[in-house]
Amino acid sequence: MKVIRYSKNPILTKEDVPFEVNSIFNPGAIKFGNEYLLVCRAEMPNGRSSLVIARSTDGINFKVDAEPCLTPEDHGKFCKYAEWGVEDARVIKLEDKYYLTYTGYSKHMPLVLLTETSDFKKFNILGPISEPSNKDCTLFPEKINGYYWKIDRPTAEQKHYIWVAKSNDLIHWGGYECMAEPDAGTWEADKIGISSTPVKTKEGWLVLYHGVRGFGISALYKLGVMLIDLEKPWILKGKSSYPILSPDLDYERTGDVSNVIFSNGWIVENNGEVKIYYSGADTNICLATTTVGHLLSLCK
Ligand code: BMA
């Protein structure tokens, strides 16, 4: 099965949010008990983002909570790194807790913040796990060779590419390795960053990533898929040679940032079905489905 857009996209727009927002987009996704949770970015009227949860029992029909779950102001002593907004959470279950890795945006520019929760009601903000400029971070859902691992996207001069690092406690990181670089002259020539959380398969860790190609003042954001070595997560085993989703439809072409498909969350069902949650034009939340088998075949 190829990647198929849900016929009633978008599944969430700002009209579905019970408080005033400019837009709702870029959700992290996780199953929690019997519910599908989307941890969405809500851009508030002042242009700064908070995170808000949307809940569903079928993964398609979501209801947005009455208020945000995490705001810049909630960040206390870390607020200075989140003052301009919190954005684009990846959500993972690791041991007996859930973790959110997301962008804190401030005068210091983007960096990665880490927060833990057990119930998606109380959030314990652990603080930055990168320096700026860095974003698009996910943890791995289990220890590998005795360490916790993260993937992120530092910016080095003109380079925007993917690195991994390891840690004993999720707070102190080291062992940095470059994992993937953009392919010159292709759809992902200018920037790449990890999109989804990694999902374990027999062949490796499967993960969505985004690629960007700029054209003057505009840029095209598309989605691809990568396969990472199970034991050595800095080794890229394969990736799709073309995008699996590109901005084609009106709700992906037109919006606050035109021609963008961006994803930071998916849910892989036990039967291998994949629900990709993504946003069109930084303005809405959409759904596309595929299978693990299809995504693996693209990485060969
Ligand atoms: C990236 C992030 C995303 C956004 C994308 C397209 O750099 O800021 O939040 O969806 O750009 O505008």
Write down the domain spans for the chain: 4-298
Centre of ligand 1 to C-alpha 255, Å, is: 13
Q: Which fold has domain 4-298?
A: Tachylectin-2; Chain A (2.115.10)
For the segment 39-57, the average pLDDT, to the nearest whole number, is 98
Instruction: Name every residue whose Cβ is closer than 8 Å to that of residue 119 and which is 6 or more positions away in sequence.
Output: none
Centre of ligand 1 to C-alpha 146, Å, is: 33
Task: Give the model confidence (pLDDT) of 202-259 as tens digits.
Answer: 999 999 999 999 988 889 999 999 999 999 999 999 999 999 999 999 999 999 999 9
159/31 Cα distance (integer angstroms): 34
Q: Is the pLDDT of residue 193 over 70?
A: yes
Task: Give the model confidence (pLDDT) of 127-157 as tens digits.
Answer: 999 999 999 999 999 999 999 999 999 999 9
For residue 87, which atom of ligand 1 is closest to its CA?
9
**Tokens 């960096």, residue located:** 111
For the segment 55-73, the average pLDDT, to the nearest whole number, is 98
Centre of ligand 1 to C-alpha 288, Å, is: 19
Centre of ligand 1 to C-alpha 231, Å, is: 30
8 class by beta-carbon count within 10 Å (0-12 exposed, 13-18 middle, 19+ buried): exposed
Residue 156's pLDDT is 95
Instruction: Supply the mean pLDDT for the chain.
Output: 98
Residue with CA closest to ligand 1 atom 6: 260
Give the C-alpha distances (Å, rounded to integers) separating 156 from 103, 132, 159, 276: 17, 10, 5, 29
Centre of ligand 1 to C-alpha 68, Å, is: 20
What's the residue count for the chain?
300
pTM: 0.98
Task: Give the model confidence (pLDDT) of 93-105 as tens digits.
Answer: 999 999 999 999 9
Centre of ligand 1 to C-alpha 218, Å, is: 12
Ligand 1: residue of 220, 222, 279, 282 to mutate (most ligand atoms within 8 A of CB) is 282
Centre of ligand 1 to C-alpha 123, Å, is: 24
Alpha-carbon torsion 246, 252, 254, 260, what sign?
negative
- Helical segments of 153-291, H only: 250-253
Residue 216's pLDDT is 84
For residue 88, which atom of ligand 1 is closest to its CA?
9
Decide: 69 and 52 in contact? Cβ < 8 Å: yes
Residue 1's pLDDT is 64
182/240 Cα distance (integer angstroms): 12
Pocket (CB within 6 angstroms of ligand 1): 26, 87-88, 221, 257, 260, 262, 282
Phi, psi of 118 (to 5 degrees): -110, -20
Residue 217's pLDDT is 84
Residue with CA closest to ligand 1 atom 2: 88
Ligand 1: residue of 50, 88, 223 to mutate (most ligand atoms within 8 A of CB) is 88
DSSP string of 198-218?
-EEETTEEEEEEEEEEEETTE
Residue 263's pLDDT is 98
